[in-house]
Structure 1
Amino acid sequence: MIQLSQAAKIEIERLKSKQKLHTLVRLAVKPGGCSDLFYDMSFAEVAQAGDRIFEVSGLQVLIDNQSLQYLNGLVLDYSEDLMGGGFRFHNPQAVATCSCGNSFAINQESIVNGQ
Structure 2
Amino acid sequence: MITVTDTALDQFRRLRRKKNDEELMLRLGVKNAGCSGMSYDIKPERTIGTTDQVYEYGDVKVLVDTASLTYLDDLTLDYSADLMGGGFRFRNPNATHTCGCGSSFSTTPPAP
What TM-score, normalized by structure 2, do the two folds share?
0.89
Q: Percent identity?
A: 44
* In structure 2, distance between residues paired with 1:11 and 1:102: 18
1:67-113 Cα offsets, whole Å, 9 max, x none, are 011111101111122324211100001000011111000011xx225
Q: Which runs of 4+ in 1 moved over 3 A?
A: none
* In structure 2, distance between residues paired with 1:48 and 1:18: 25
* In structure 1, distance between residues paired with 2:85 and 2:31: 24
* In structure 1, distance between residues paired with 2:22 and 2:9: 17
Relative to 1, partners in 2 of residues 1:106 and 1:84: Cα closer, same or farther, differing over 3 Å?
closer
Structure 2 residue ranges without an equivalent (≥5): none
* In structure 2, distance between residues paired with 1:18 and 1:52: 26
Residue in 2 that maps onto 1:40 = 41
For the aligned residue pairs, the C-alpha RMSD in angstroms reads 1.4
Residue in 1 that maps onto 2:77 = 76
Residue in 2 that maps onto 1:61 = 62
What TM-score, normalized by structure 1, do the two folds share?
0.87
Query: How many residue pairs are counted as aligned between the two chains?
Result: 110
